[in-house]
Structure 1
């Protein structure tokens, strides 16, 4: 089955949801012909993933979950996750990334509609991780969203907002009908698309990224960039880059036949000795031992 593409990165889409505002950072569709290595978003964002086709495995906070057609899952604040595709049946995925602006307030003195929206918003922001089979027919909405963003007929922007709102409602209905395990999290006010820029930069350019280049990309000073990383992730730029490099190294060790020396070079280390020392300090074992214990079957 062919699925129409979606690639919304720069639309200014903000959806009121009770006392909160959902700021849609991007909506995308794609196929996983190779696995997507381990990474985590900050405590600033949520990602809705819907798999209409294909098979694979989700590794979330160390736990493995099988993925098949019609799987729906949410990866929210600080949920470390990796998507391993089945090369014989690659996963297709619709993904919506959004940040939540505002604070949840009490339900007193609200209309029925306001109470309903506030209750749904509370469930969304307090569910950092959930996985299950979609029971709410979300695929037709994604297909309609793809049609609207591709054709862009008059009124399409309003249609896009309405469709995404319906997708969030159906997400919450999936949670409640399938009895999710909720874990309270602290709601924080989120910023703009700088969050996506930071995470994509470390995810894709861990070997070469510099503090100055990241600052230039964000439109901030070096000092502001350091301060932003510290407040969002609790680490410095150097620590964040090292985490990203080590995560990539662990992925390469477990999933590729690449030599340890080549992995050291690929992840930005000048010497094999420095790479091995850094890796052992973080993981407690040498890169070769890690490969032996974590190699995918």
Structure 2
């Protein structure tokens, strides 16, 4: 089975997880045709390994662990380990080498305009990453798809690729820690809409579905605001008064009905909330530049009915 290749060892790329900064030293992939001799990483160094195909074994701190498709393992500071491949079925490996930067260098990064996510979940992920120098198991987070997407981004180098690579690398760290914790539930509660967000949704829904009947007074009551505050909120959102916005909503619906139905001008006027056809025609012409009848006639010329439709 072919796997997309990755070879990236000269990109200045850092991931910020709360107060933790991970410097990505390299991202590589390839087949193990020869075993890797015993070695250990220096302080602050973490190497993530993912095996999408092939077989072999990992010897870590004197213990041997079988490696097979889907194996995922982390070797951190001071962990003695060696990889032994099966010559009859060589392993393919994706590997990312991280350096956990000291806090002083972290402040340097912040001075350059980068900021990490300080949410409770992310801080816990950072803590677990640092405090787990060795872990091995079968991946249950579909990390192969992440590595394949990472390979595509690195090789394509399309616009925004650096940002996409950073996001995908964050996903690998999150996926790794989720494997550690067996999908521990989130520590966070879902953020709720702010009061202003709820009010904007309420205004929007009234303009879409209740434009014939809503008044500034009833809308203010629904929003829990004064009439003046309500007018200000509508003008800020739409750049016009509520009266003009309601007029726009009525006339947009009228234009749709002229196009999509055979209703009379009088019936459309009544349906969109005008008391007389004359008032409707006057407002429609002011807004659209033509009378409703002329608007419908222009649509008929632009979109003539086919003979098949006429004979239905």
Equivalence for 2:213: none
Q: What are the residue-to-residue correspondences of 1:122-271 with 2, within 5 Å?
A: 122-177=127-182
Equivalence for 1:62: 62
Q: Which runs of 4+ in 1 moved over 6 A?
A: none
Are 1:115 and 2:120 matched, yes or no? yes
CA–CA distance in structure 2, aligned partners of residues 57 and 112 of structure 1: 36
**5+ residue gaps in structure 2?**
104-115, 185-312
CA–CA distance in structure 2, aligned partners of residues 168 and 112 of structure 1: 14
Aligned residues: 173
For CA contacts below 8 A with separation 6 or more, give which structure has more relative contact order: 1
Partner of 1:34: helix, strand, or coil? coil
Equivalence for 1:95: 95
Partner of 2:166: helix, strand, or coil? helix
Partner of 1:73: helix, strand, or coil? strand
CA–CA distance in structure 1, aligned partners of residues 163 and 65 of structure 2: 36
Equivalence for 2:3: 3
TM-aligned CA deviation for residue 46 of structure 1: 0.2
CA–CA distance in structure 2, aligned partners of residues 137 and 178 of structure 1: 13
Equivalence for 2:23: 23
Are 1:38 and 2:38 matched, yes or no? yes
Instruction: Please say if residues 59 and 82 of structure 1, whose CA atoms lie closer than 8 Å, have aligned partners that are also in contact.
Output: yes
Please provide the CA RMSD for this pair. Answer: 1.9
- How far does the alpha carbon of each residue in 1:32-77 deviate from its partner, in whole angstroms, 9 at most, with x for none? 0010111111122000000000000100011100101100000001
Equivalence for 1:253: none
TM-aligned CA deviation for residue 117 of structure 1: 1.1
- How far does the alpha carbon of each residue in 1:90-138 deviate from its partner, in whole angstroms, 9 at most, with x for none? 00000000011245xxxxxxx9952211110000000000000000000
Instruction: Please say if residues 44 and 101 of structure 2, whose CA atoms lie closer than 8 Å, have aligned partners that are also in contact.
Output: no
Instruction: Please say if residues 19 and 102 of structure 1, whose CA atoms lie closer than 8 Å, have aligned partners that are also in contact.
Output: no
Partner of 1:145: helix, strand, or coil? helix
Equivalence for 1:77: 77
Instruction: Please say if residues 22 and 98 of structure 1, whose CA atoms lie closer than 8 Å, have aligned partners that are also in contact.
Output: yes
TM-aligned CA deviation for residue 142 of structure 1: 0.2
Partner of 1:166: helix, strand, or coil? helix
CA–CA distance in structure 1, aligned partners of residues 135 and 61 of structure 2: 12
Instruction: Please say if residues 41 and 76 of structure 1, whose CA atoms lie closer than 8 Å, have aligned partners that are also in contact.
Output: yes
Partner of 1:173: helix, strand, or coil? helix
CA–CA distance in structure 2, aligned partners of residues 135 and 156 of structure 1: 26
CA–CA distance in structure 2, aligned partners of residues 43 and 81 of structure 1: 15
**5+ residue gaps in structure 1?**
104-110, 180-297
Partner of 2:74: helix, strand, or coil? strand
- Which entry has the higher C-alpha Rg, 1 or 2? 2
Partner of 1:24: helix, strand, or coil? strand
Instruction: Please say if residues 58 and 83 of structure 2, whose CA atoms lie closer than 8 Å, have aligned partners that are also in contact.
Output: yes
